[in-house]
Amino acid sequence: MFAYIVRRLLYAIPILLGTTFLLFLLFNVVPGDPALQLAGKHATREVIETIRAELGLNKPWYGQYFDMLKQLITFDFGRSYWTKQKITDMILAGAGTSFSLGFPAFVISTSISLLVGLVIALYRGSKLDKGVVAFSVAAQSVSLLVYILAGQYFLAYKMGLFPISGYDPDFIGRWQYLVLPIIIFVFLSVAPELRFYRTIFLDELYQDYVRTARSKGLGTKAVLLRHVLKNAMIPILTNLVITIPFLILGSVLIESFFQIPGLGDLIVKAIANNDRPVLISMTVLGTFAYIIFNLISDILYALVDPRVQLK
């Protein structure tokens, strides 16, 4: 397993190099000179050249690319064009906020989806099954913006159950602002996950080992928990582990509409202000997180299913 992990990490190097090079071309070569945008329309040539020197834009393109690689390798992402803050500090500050929103929603939605998905798979074709599937399809058909605006208008504005928007950095005080976004996050996540887990459990319920277990006299609860759930762990783990990077990176629309200063809100502001260093840093971090959690999911496969061999 150690050799497999080392190989996978080595394979990640060209992927990260390719990603960073494409980002460099996208943000620095194709759109033109960033110094012109930062200096403004009426800036003098001297001002533009000063900005270019400060940002290292007067170097050849390969020198600029290696400077970017050095920043990313050392996790010193430089400073934001817009706020002048260190990007590392901005990411660390936003990560905790995004995690406070994403992790509770992830745990609640996963628990509901697994439990309900297992039940409706067991009672396939019943009114309960048809009702839940219809709910899932209908819920997926509605835009996230509708959930956000409806929650803010009815639950926050009309009923006064929650603040409309805002955030408190205090660990205790923040939850009054996070409850409504978490509810929307859960409602949005449960709909597609219910159908996904239902399909997985249905595939397992009609396998030969389930019929064998029932013929031996095992009860429904034992069959579901000891056999069906266990044998369905590989697709479940894949779905869960790949979701984690998105929790860390934040929910862009939810954080933006509720004015929650997480990583999602950071990305929105960086796009609005054309803050290229922040956008590059967040994209590379997302790529790195996706690669790492893919590796973790492969390792977990071998732990939950002895038939899986890491080669």
Contacts of 216 (CB under 8 A, 6+ apart): none
Q: What angle (nearest 5°) sits at the alpha carbon of residue 205, between those of residues 204 and 211?
A: 115
C-alpha distances in Å from residue 107, one per residue of 116, 155, 159: 14, 23, 27
182 confidence band (pLDDT: 50, 70, 90): very high
Give the containing element (helix H, strand E) for 97: helix 87-122
Q: Which residue, among 164, 181, 171, has the nearest Cα to 264 in the 3D structure?
A: 181
pLDDT in tens, 78-96: 888 888 889 999 999 898 8
Token readout for 92 is 């660390």
The full set of domains in the chain, from first to last, is 2-73 (no CATH), 95-304 (1.10.3720.10)
pLDDT in tens, 267-298: 888 888 878 888 888 888 888 888 888 888 87
pLDDT averaged over the chain?
A: 84
Give the pLDDT confidence score for residue 176 in this predicted structure: 92
Give the pLDDT confidence score for residue 309 in this predicted structure: 61
Token readout for 73 is 């390798």
Distance CA 29, CA 149 (A): 39
Token readout for 178 is 């996070």
Distance CA 179, CA 166 (A): 12
29 confidence band (pLDDT: 50, 70, 90): low
Distance CA 61, CA 52 (A): 13
The tokens 């697709």 sit on which residue?
Answer: 235
Give the pLDDT confidence score for residue 258 in this predicted structure: 92
pLDDT in tens, 123-143: 888 898 899 889 888 888 888
| Long-range contacts formed by 74-79: CB under 8 A, 24+ apart | 77/277, 77/278, 77/280, 77/281, 78/277, 79/277
* Top-confidence residue, 243 or 302: 243
Please tell me which of 3-12, 66-75, 164-173, 236-245 the model is most confident about, judged by mean pLDDT.
164-173
